[in-house]
Each structure stands twice: as C-alpha cells, then as structure tokens.
Structure 1
Amino acid sequence: MPTHGVPTSNDPPAAPDGALTAGAVAAEPRGSLTTLVLLVLGVFSYLTMEMMVAPIVPFVQQELGITPSQSAWMLTGLLVVGAVCLPLATRYADIADKKKVFLVVLGLSGIGAAIAALATTAPLLIAGQMLQGVGVAVVPIAIGIMRDSQPLSRARTANTIFVVSGGLGAAVAYVAVGPIVTHLHYSYIYWFPTIVIAAVVLVGLRALPSCPPVAGGTVDWTGAVLLGAALVALLLGLTFPTSLGWGSPLVLGLLVLTIALLAVFAVVERRHPSPLVDLRGLAEREVLGVMSINTAHSIATFVMYVILPTLALLPVAIGYGMGGDASTAGLVLLPYALLVVVAGPTAQRLEPLLGRRGTMILGAVLIVAAGLVLLGIGSAPWTPYLCSALMGLGLGIGFTQSLNTIVRVVPAERVASASGAVYVVRSVGGVLGGQIAGAILSAGLTAAGAPSWGAILANVLLIVALGVVSIGLSYLLASRRSTATAAAVLTPAQA
C-alpha cells in the first residue's frame, strides 16, 4: 500500500541486520503510573456520566414537564456535538500539547454537566447536555497521551483499561441510576462524576506530562466547518425519520446535503497541507478495516440496545417476551457491560496468539452467536441475558483490538485523530442502528400494539448479518504471521 511519505507503523525500524537501532531504543519513553491513573479516572468519570443520561430521561420529563421530542435531544444533542467537535479536538491534540487539550475538553464536559444539573428548563438542560458532548474526545486524546508518554506495551495496555472503563461505567450506570434517583435526585447523576472530573483537572494541571506535538501543523478550519456541517446534516437526517418518515423532503434533503458536503470536504482535505482528517491514512488497508468494522459493530450495538429492553418488557404470554419491568429492561443489559470489562484484557492476551485479524474475527463470531441465541427465546426466556453477555464480549474484544491496531499502525503524530475517527464512525453507526431497529419494530406492530415476532426476527438477523460482515472485513487486518513479523523488531519493553 502507498504510504504517501509517512510510515504506516509505530514500530521502530529495524537495522539492516535485523537488530534494533540505538535511536529506536533511546526513543522509548519510561512513562508514569500517575499519568495512567489520572487519564483512567477522567475517562471513567465521563463515560459513566454519559451512560447514565438515558435512564434518567423519564424522570427529567416528569420534573421539568418537557415533551418526548424535547427530551430526545438530551441524547441526540450530545451525540451531534460530540461527533462535530471530536475531529477538531483530536486534530488540535495532534498539533498542540495533548495535556492542555485533554484538560480543556474534560473541563468543558464537566461544566456542561454542572449546567444540566442546575437546569430548571428544558433549553438549559439540553444546552448543558450538548456542552457535555465535547467530552467524547477525552478517550482518543487520552490514547494519544499514553502513546506519547508511555512505553508502547503500557500504551496498548491502557487501551484495554480504557475499554474496561467504558464497561465499568455502563455497569455502574445501570446499577446506580435507580438508587440515586429514588433516594436523592437525578441531578446527582451529573454531580458525582463532575466532582471526579474537577479533581482530575486540578491535579492534572501539575501531574500530567506535557505532550508537545511530534510535528507542526495548523488547524484546517475550512475542513472543520465542512465536516461539522456534514455530520450535523447526517445525524439530523438519521434522527428525524422517527417523526417525519424516511420519505420526508427534509430528511432526503439533509442526506443529499451530507453527500455534497462530504464530497467538497474530500476535495479540500486532499489539497490541504495539514488536513483535519488524513484521508490517505484512513484509506490504508488496516485503518480502513478498523473503521468499517466499527461502523458495523456500532450498528449492531444499538440494534441490541433497542431489542433487548423491548423483549424484557413484552409479556411472556406473547411467546417471545420476558414479562419484566423497567428494572428488567436495565438489568438485561448488565451482562453486556460486565463482559466488556472482561473483553479488554482478553483481547490483550489473544493478539499475540491469534494476530490482529484472528482476534477481530473471534469478536465478530461472538456477535453472530449473540444473535443466534435469541432465536430460542420462545422456549428459553433467559436467552436475552446470554445474548447481552456474548455481545459484550464480542464487541469489547473488537473495540480493544481496533484501538490497539490504531496505536500500532498509525504514525504517532496521528494517533489521537485516527482514534477520534473511530469514535466518529461509532457515533454515526449508533444513530443509524437505533433508527433502523426502531423503524423495523414500528413497521411490524401487531394489532395489540406490540412488536411482532417477524420484526424481532428481522432485528436479530440484522445482528447476525453485521457479525458476518465483520468477519469478512477482518481480513483487511494483518494476519498472525504479519503481526509476528512486526513484533520481531520491538524493544524488550514493547514486546
């Protein structure tokens, strides 16, 4: 594959005789556990706060007297702002001190959370949620800081820890929301993580290492405006069909506008000396594979988010329901969150054995299995819990391997923005998955108003199909032999 003048791997180069160069060994950073702890606390607090938003929507509606369409913007607004700001924040992290960008982004998310906690009106609450969305960039920037300040072995371990933090954050959210709302107030959902965020920012000002840019550059503001407008148009175009329908002129117009803006963006980026998004780098085989797989995985994730709580609430008498209540709808997703925690370390250990490709295929196979087990729900009402667990394991392995692949194959000065691109495609895929699942269920309602088995089956088969597609896309990643060859030129600290 063409490299366009930049290396396609973070592995140090080998000397002609296969030995390491002295410069490669000298360049290995020693790192600090304090850095890792602060970054993990910042990531965990933000992700926990983000995962707690959806369960409190009914309580916010009741207390503030807002409509369902207004409350939907608590989630959509956060997602839109995150998707727009993420490429800009991660690109700025590539050309500036990552420490400063991380603390600013994390601090802004904390301010947004405080605004939402204090809000007494819907517009102020939504504004706080939207500002909170800036924090989506904390994970890819944290990955960039780890890559700059730690040995490669610890940087890759940190990727695992960040994925585990997401799983733990989701688990804490699913378990803690009920008691907090029952005994305190929904605003504490924002206050508890914000206290941790404030502590991380204050301590991080002194304790986090400075991470100056590897190479110079400027922010491509033209590209930022074009990409931001395209993402806003796309996400709104995927959100409005719920109320307006896919054939609505507004929806079709937004999708056409998205295509036009992305086309102009591609032209601008290919000509810009310091592009916001390295399109040539994203077109490299393994990076393209990671982006494509994460799109499929995020669609599958949000299809699961829609159908598992739906199955939990349907009556047993219907033949494919669990007969549960709101608590059941949350608990059915708990195995997913817990298995994501297990999946991170699992992927870390599997890559040396299976290679990048084999590890990613394993994750995809587990997603296929997760869909297939739901076919037996009529005779085994517990199968949604097994589906949730298998999805958590498969998606967690896939996401951990994705981040490890980015750290391994992308030049160091582009790690933050490339990791950010993974999160952008996951946001877009998530919105698309939720809309598709919802549309399928809405189209298949029975006379009693419940989703038909045909609608449930279509969503189940969609998860299976996305898993199969992910297996095929995994062949874009390096094989076990290729991975072993690359590992042969690592320092002992990196191996």
Structure 2
Amino acid sequence: MQTVVVPLLPDLPALTGSSASTVSWTLTATLLSGAVCTPLLGRAGDMFGKKRMLVVAMSVLSVGSVMCALTSDIGVLIVGRTLQGMATAVVPLGISILRDELPPAKVGGGVAMMSSTLGIGAAVGLPLAGLVVDHADWHAMFWGATVLALVVLTLIVLVVRESPVRNPGRFDVIGSLGLAAFLVCLLLAVSKGTAWGWTGTRTLGLLGAAALILLGWGAHQWRASTPLVDLRVTARPAVLLPNIAALFIGFSFYANSLSTAQLVQTPTESGYGLGVSVAVGGLCLLPGGVMMVVLSPVSSRLTASRGPRFCLGVGAVLLGLGYLVRIFTSHHLWTIILGATVVASGTAICYSALPMLVIRAVPAAQTAAANGINALMRTIGQAVCSAVVAAVLTSYTMSAGGHELPTLHAYMVVFVIAGAVAGCALLACLCIPEPPGPTAVPIPAQAGESRIASASRDPSGRT
C-alpha cells in the first residue's frame, strides 16, 4: 500500500484532473496515517486485544481500497489512501501476537518474517503496480488490493487466536492526540518541505509547532499513570538505541526504493539513463523482494546463534556495501539490480533483528506498543529520506530531450548519503548493550505455569 501508487504519480494529474502537488498527497496521506495509527493501535492492542485491532486495521484497509477503486476524484482518492495507511499497524500487532503464541523455537523465525514483510511488500508493490499501469485500467490495482485485504481479514478472523496477554488501564486520549499532532506537524513539514521551501513560513511553523508539542507531550507522558508510551522503558539504552537504528535503517532502505526505478527509467538522452518502461523499472526491485523472503529464516538462525545485535550489525554493513556497489556500477541494468538487491538483503537482516532487540528489552504486555514505536521510527526515517532524495534530485539537474532531469551525480549523492546513514545505524548498533542474562523473549506455559504469568515477566525476570 505504501508504494502501489508510485508508478501512477506521473499520470495521476491527468487521470484525476488535479495538479501534481495535490496528487503527491496520495503518498503523503498514507505516510501520515500510518505513522499516527501504528503506535495508537499498538497500545490499543496491548489493552483491548491484538487480534481485535488487527481486524479493525484490515477492515479499514478494505474500505479504503474500495473507495480508491470506485473513484477518479482526487479528494476521495486521498481519503481512501489515508484509510489504507492505517493498516501499517498490522506489523507490530502481528509481532506481538507471535511473541505471545509461538513456542520459543518459533518466535525468532516468525518475527523475522513478519518484520521483513515491510520491505517485501514495498519491493513487490512497485513492479505489480507498474504492470497494471502498463496493461490495465489503474483502478484494477485497487480492486486487487481490496480482494487481498478481504482474504487476509477472513483468515485473521478464522485462524488467528486472541492473545490473553493484556496491559490494562485507561487509554491515554491526551497522549494520543498529542502524538498525532506532533507526527502530523513533523511529517507534513518534512514531506512537503521541498515543495514549500525549507525556509518558508509553513515549513518552519510546522517544525516549530512539532517541537513545542513534543515537549508538552513528553511531560504529559512522564506524569501519566497509564501513558501511551512508557518513556521510562523507551528511554532505556536497550530500547532507545534500536529505535534510533530503526530510523537510520528506514532512511537507508527507502532511498533504494525511491531511486532505482527512477534511475533506470531516465531517458537515454541523458547519457546515463536506460529508458526502460515503468513495469521494467519496478521489476528491478523484485529480486530484492525475493532475497528478503529467502533471508528471513537465515537471519532468524543468525539471531538465535549470535544474537539480534550481531544480526543488526551484519545487516547495516550489507546496506552500506550495497550503496558502495551502486556508486560504482550504476551504468548497466544488471549491476543496478545487483546493488539494489544487496541493499534489500541488508534491510531484510536489519528488519529481522530490530523487533527481537525490542522484544528482549520490554515486558510482554508492552510488546505491541514498543514495536509500534520502532515501526514508527522506520516510517519517520522514510519520510525524511523522501524529502532528502527529492531535494538532491532537484538540486542537480540537466536538460535533455526537452525535459529537466536529475544528473547522474545527483544519484551518486543520494547513494553516498544513504550509505553514510547505514554507517550511523551500525554505530547505534555497536552501542546497544548486551543483556546481562537470558533475553526477554517469552516462554510459553510450562507445567505449573500459566501462559499469562510467563508472558508477564519483565526483562529482569521479575513477575
């Protein structure tokens, strides 16, 4: 859902009778709603039931997909895309259910695959959407999304068990509104800063408002008896540093998705572009999606044998190497695909390790909320990346074939920045403290011990 409209963006202004700046909201709205709803539904899942929140998220996704499939009006399309973005919360909710329900030997593999779906979906969504754009009416893309959403919703209702683990208390309405306001101000300024101007009144006003709201929200969370985000837990180095790493990983991975298809689709008149179709441009990311599927169980075994911190470090190194390959080999289709696949491979390993780092550092009753914050940090990283890539590609341009195009140097700058950010993720990883004893991955009920009691232990082993 995050990338499915990317191949449509050049054509949507004509298809909907709107401007390019208005059409860009089909991406921005999904990003904003996903960022806002992921921590909120994660906390609600810990309180009221994770399966229940999964059903809510998938139901809203189904409604949003139907709205998009039935309309060519840009306003309705943006509302539908906003509803689709809420489904981002299924990943932290799913991770929490896996932690509560699976036996110890299965937790790592299940969490690795669940977390990697963030990257797999992005890599698969682009080529599928490209094929639809080239060969069918663009509404077919959203009808397909509707069918898939309804199938998944039916399977959740019939197959998934509701976890008995709860973190009861009053839902923090003020904290929820404060977090939503902060994220809207921050992500709106970041995602639209290039179009509005980084020194423009709207951009600076939103950034200033975000800073003030964050200060007030933090003070409220620290005093609240049942906060939306437990800052005392989140501020621990064992939780804070994986969240910082998630921010960097989200940035570094998204640069790969944003640049690859655009690079190979650049007209040959530019001197470096390959002039391929939208469908072929999307297919360049498909091998990376396949590698993410293949590497999920591998990274799970690596996490089990060497620990999630080691696994995250390996992934960050691979990410950096992938961009190093891209800097020197972006002239031929197969080498571009190779570099993009190496980046995707590093992302798969990182995405598998990040939730395990969070799981071992928080009590079981806070798993969904904590992983929601980790997923939120990835989303913020992607938003910042989108703004940075747009700024770079519009700063270094050339005229070719009657069009204003980014230069090859612009792409090289993007790859250098993304590789450096992957290095920052590695530094954050190296600073993550190793646990003094056994990890906090929950142990299912044994003889004489209930599942709920087992899952309620905090990381120190106390009940």
Q: Please give the TM-score of this superposition, normalised by the length of structure 1.
A: 0.83
Shift in alpha-carbon separation, 1:154–1:353, aligned structure 2, 3 A = closer
Shift of 1:140: 0.9
Give the counterpart of 1:101 among 41, 53, 56.
53
Q: How far, CA to CA, are the matches of 1:488 and 1:227 in structure 2?
A: 28
Whether 2:92 is the aligned partner of 1:135: answer: no
Amino acid of the residue matched to residue 70 of structure 1? Answer: T
Q: How far, CA to CA, are the matches of 2:75 and 2:444 in structure 1?
A: 54
Pick which of 173-182 and 128-137 moved more. Answer: 173-182
Q: How far, CA to CA, are the matches of 2:337 and 2:279 in structure 1?
A: 14
Query: What's the counterpart of residue 460 of structure 1?
Result: 415
Matches within 5 A, 1:116-127: 116-127=68-79
Pick which of 208-217 and 438-447 moved more. Answer: 208-217
Mark the runs of 5 or more structure 1 residues left unpaired by the alignment.
1-48
Shift in alpha-carbon separation, 1:445–1:349, aligned structure 2, 3 A = same
Amino acid of the residue matched to residue 392 of structure 1? Answer: A
Partner of 1:161, secondary structure, is helix
Partner of 2:3, secondary structure, is helix
| Aligned residues of 1:306 and 1:438 also touching (Cα < 8 A) | no
Mark the runs of 5 or more structure 2 residues left unpaired by the alignment.
447-453, 455-463
Whether 2:161 is the aligned partner of 1:161: answer: no
Give the counterpart of 2:346 among 374, 394, 404.
394
Whether 2:258 is the aligned partner of 1:303: answer: no
Whether 2:303 is the aligned partner of 1:351: answer: yes
Partner of 2:421, secondary structure, is helix
Shift of 1:291: 0.7
Amino acid of the residue matched to residue 138 of structure 2? Answer: Y
Aligned residues: 444
Deviation per CA, 1:113-150: give whole Å up to 9, x if none.
11111123111111111111111111111112222222
Whether 2:192 is the aligned partner of 1:240: answer: yes
Amino acid of the residue matched to residue 341 of structure 1? Answer: V
| Aligned residues of 1:410 and 1:418 also touching (Cα < 8 A) | yes
Pick which of 55-64 and 396-405 moved more. Answer: 55-64
Whether 2:180 is the aligned partner of 1:228: answer: yes
Identity %, equivalent residues: 28
Shift in alpha-carbon separation, 1:360–1:483, aligned structure 2, 3 A = farther
Shift in alpha-carbon separation, 1:133–1:446, aligned structure 2, 3 A = same
| Aligned residues of 1:295 and 1:429 also touching (Cα < 8 A) | yes
Q: How far, CA to CA, are the matches of 1:271 and 1:378 in structure 2?
A: 52
Query: What's the counterpart of residue 469 of structure 1?
Result: 424
Q: How far, CA to CA, are the matches of 1:114 and 1:381 in structure 2?
A: 36
Matches within 5 A, 1:174-185: 174-185=126-137
Amino acid of the residue matched to residue 463 of structure 1? Answer: A
Amino acid of the residue matched to residue 456 of structure 1? Answer: Y
Query: What's the counterpart of residue 32 of structure 1?
Result: none
Shift in alpha-carbon separation, 1:369–1:194, aligned structure 2, 3 A = same
Shift of 1:307: 2.6
Shift in alpha-carbon separation, 1:270–1:397, aligned structure 2, 3 A = same
Amino acid of the residue matched to residue 404 of structure 1? Answer: M
Amino acid of the residue matched to residue 100 of structure 2? Answer: D
Give the counterpart of 1:366 among 318, 328, 345.
318
Matches within 5 A, 1:287-302: 287-302=239-254
| Aligned residues of 1:296 and 1:470 also touching (Cα < 8 A) | yes
Matches within 5 A, 1:79-94: 79-94=31-46
Amino acid of the residue matched to residue 423 of structure 1? Answer: A
Deviation per CA, 1:66-117: give whole Å up to 9, x if none.
2211211111001111111222111111111222111112111111111111
Query: What's the counterpart of residue 235 of structure 2?
Result: 283
Deviation per CA, 1:248-270: give whole Å up to 9, x if none.
01101110110100000000000
Shift of 1:385: 1.2
| Aligned residues of 1:366 and 1:394 also touching (Cα < 8 A) | yes
Shift in alpha-carbon separation, 1:65–1:412, aligned structure 2, 3 A = same
| Aligned residues of 2:175 and 2:221 also touching (Cα < 8 A) | yes
Q: Please give the TM-score of this superposition, normalised by the length of structure 2.
A: 0.88
Shift of 1:167: 4.6
Query: What's the counterpart of residue 368 of structure 2?
Result: 416
Pick which of 75-84 and 149-158 moved more. Answer: 149-158
Query: What's the counterpart of residue 205 of structure 2?
Result: 253
Q: How far, CA to CA, are the matches of 1:207 and 1:339 in structure 2?
A: 28
Query: What's the counterpart of residue 12 of structure 1?
Result: none
Amino acid of the residue matched to residue 321 of structure 2? Answer: A
Partner of 2:9, secondary structure, is helix
Q: How far, CA to CA, are the matches of 1:483 and 1:345 in structure 2?
A: 26
Query: What's the counterpart of residue 322 of structure 1?
Result: 274
Query: What's the counterpart of residue 65 of structure 2?
Result: 113
| Aligned residues of 1:338 and 1:392 also touching (Cα < 8 A) | no
| Aligned residues of 2:61 and 2:87 also touching (Cα < 8 A) | yes
| Aligned residues of 1:343 and 1:392 also touching (Cα < 8 A) | no
Amino acid of the residue matched to residue 411 of structure 1? Answer: P
